[in-house]
Structure 1
Amino acid sequence: MLPIVIALFAPIVAQGSADVSRTVDRLTECRAIAADGDRLACFDRLAARIAAARTSGDLLVLDRRQVVERKRQRFGLANPPSDVFGGGEADRATEVSRLDTTIRMAKPAGPYGRWNLELANGSVWQSVDTLPFPPKASAPIALRTATLGGFRASIAGGRTFLVKRLR
């Protein structure tokens, strides 16, 4: 899988931050140069700038798989990193709106038929709606985003119920 290249260039006036931020985009312009020597010189010049920006920490390269996994881990928390990349196409391509896992352990959460559900990924969720049955360990559970910022869960393909993430 190809990595997502995120250009997070520090605004350093001496280096011309507007010019530096276009360095990655200019790589495609090098491909259009017909003369081999000139094209190679263009690639070498830009590769050196990219390497320097990466070494200095001004350029960050992330693997799409790692980004999606991180978003899965944060799914349901109060401040999810939903727009890590500024809300653009990269964010839409790595959006996590559903999580399929299994229940590791279920404990009653006080009165009214609520349950704390510890999932295989380590997250802990609490049912907001009353569950008429005790959830079973190792049962499959699907969590998805709901309207108004909430979350719904379904155990083993059953009816959905409201949940909130505790940790």
Structure 2
Amino acid sequence: MKVQIILAVCLSSAAAAQRIDDRSRTVDELTACREVRGDAARLRCYDRAADVLANARASGDLMVLDRKTVVARKQQRFGLTTPTGEMFGGGASDDATAVRQLDSKIVAIAPAKAYGRFDIQLANGSVWQTLEALSFPPKPGTGVTVKEAAMGGYRLSIAGDRSVLTKRIR
């Protein structure tokens, strides 16, 4: 099984653009070691590149996350106002781990301040408020799906029934 790794760079300074360039070159230098001829020279190349990566990781300048961890973190943030692309660097790797839907179960429900609307807590701890009235409150244990809707909103479908507009409040 092929393990896919996503490298995320944590930056803080005015020289952020230069530092991104340095880190990507560091990873490129490691992969370039495959082309070095001669066992001893190739091993020295790998040792040098591995030392640079290990030091960057130890200092916190470089973070390595597997795909499963990135997707889990994006699922936890799904529906909140902070775009996860800013957290994980954007680009093709970020697009490949995009979360556009959340499937869960209701663990708690409470009436919202507006008639017919409810605050629904899901198994992952997130709380969503319906923006449209529901005829009856859903029951805990019921499966739900939250999907991205047009124009940046979200739609919540309870047990596969019609979906209603919703927003994440926690």
The normalised TM-score by structure 1 is 0.88
Q: 1:72 to 1:91 in 2, by over 3 A?
A: same
5+ residue gaps, structure 1:
none
Identical residues among aligned pairs (%): 49
Match of 2:39 in 1: 36
Work out which of the residue numbers 82, 87, 90 in structure 2 matches 1:87: 90
- After superposition, the Cα gap between the structure-2 partners of 1:31 and 1:150, relative to the gap in structure 1 and judged at 3 Å, is same
Task: Quote the residue 1:2 is aligned against.
Answer: 4
Structure 2 residue runs without a partner (length 5+): none
Higher helix share: 2
Deviations 1:72-120 (A, max 9, x none): 1111112232332332012111111100000112222134311111111
List 4+ stretches of structure 1 deviating above 6 A: 9-13
| Structure-to-structure mapping, 1:116-155, within 5 angstroms | 116-155=119-158
Moved more, 102-111 or 23-32: 102-111
- Residue 84 of structure 2 aligns to a residue whose secondary structure is coil
Secondary structure at the aligned position of 1:82 is classed as: helix
Q: Distance in 1 between matches of 2:167 and 2:93?
A: 27
Q: Is the 8 A contact 1:103 1:117 kept in 2?
A: yes
Cα distance change of structure 1 residues 119 and 10 upon mapping to structure 2, 3 Å threshold? closer
- Quick one: distance in 2 between partners of 1:150 and 1:82? 17
TM-score normalized with structure 2 length: 0.86
| Residue of structure 1 equivalent to 2:72 | 69
User: Residues 61, 111 of structure 1: CA spacing in aligned structure 2 closer, same or farther, 3 A cutoff?
Assistant: closer
Let me know the Cα RMSD of the aligned residues: 2.2
Match of 2:118 in 1: 115
Match of 1:144, SS?
strand
